[in-house]
Amino acid sequence: MNNLIKLTLTLSILLTGCAAPATAPSFNIAKATENRENQSIFYIYREYAEPTAWKPTIYIDSKEIVSLPQESFSWVYLSPGEHKITSKWSFLAGPPDVEFSVKIEPDKKYYYEITGSSKVTGIAPVPIGILIFSKTTALVSDHEEEKAIPQLEKCCRFIPPKLDGL
């Protein structure tokens, strides 16, 4: 029984979500308002993705852009052409890295959502504690503006990017 209590507490701590700070600006305040000639605006957001206690780090063309907690978003200006987007989770978090290329056209807006799931598939006692087996998935999906804007307005707070544009 004692081990069950420890397991329950451990899982509760690990699965508890970390959201964007409540003081961070909402989408309506922090959305990109300035259009830059011949550049596009690339939004990346995370309404909900497991494992909730970890933040995926987003890279564009191998440059670190932002780490996104739950209920957060960021944006960056991108020049036209092919860009490599990578979402990396900590090794301890479990989800695989997601990498894809996107062709950016000038003067457009792009919306990408990070999602993921994590499921405990087994538990095994070991001499030093408990070993937990899990299956995790990670996705980065593009959305039309009509779907993305309501999600962003409802859920997300702004996390500033490390770079202004690429």
Residue 12 or residue 120, greater confidence: 120
Beta strand pairing status for 40-46 and 72-78?
A: antiparallel
10 band by pLDDT with thresholds 50, 70 and 90: very low
Q: Comparing C-alpha atoms, which of 132, 106, 127 is closest to residue 12?
A: 132
| Residue 5, C-beta contacts closer than 8 angstroms, at least 6 positions apart | none
With bands split at pLDDT 50, 70 and 90, how would you rate the model's confidence at 11? Answer: very low
pTM metric for this prediction? 0.78
Question: 73-112: per-residue pLDDT in tens?
Answer: 999 999 999 999 999 887 776 677 788 899 999 999 999 9
Residue 71 Cα to chain centre, angstroms: 9
Q: How far apart are CA 94 and CA 55, in angstroms?
A: 12
pLDDT of residue 117: 72
Q: Which helix (H) or strand (E) holds 42?
A: strand 40-46
Of residues 14 and 155, the one with the higher pLDDT is: 155
How confident is residue 126, by pLDDT bands cut at 50, 70 and 90? confident
What's the whole-number mean pLDDT along residues 137-154?
Answer: 83
Which pLDDT value is given to residue 17? Answer: 47
Domain ranges of the chain: 2-158
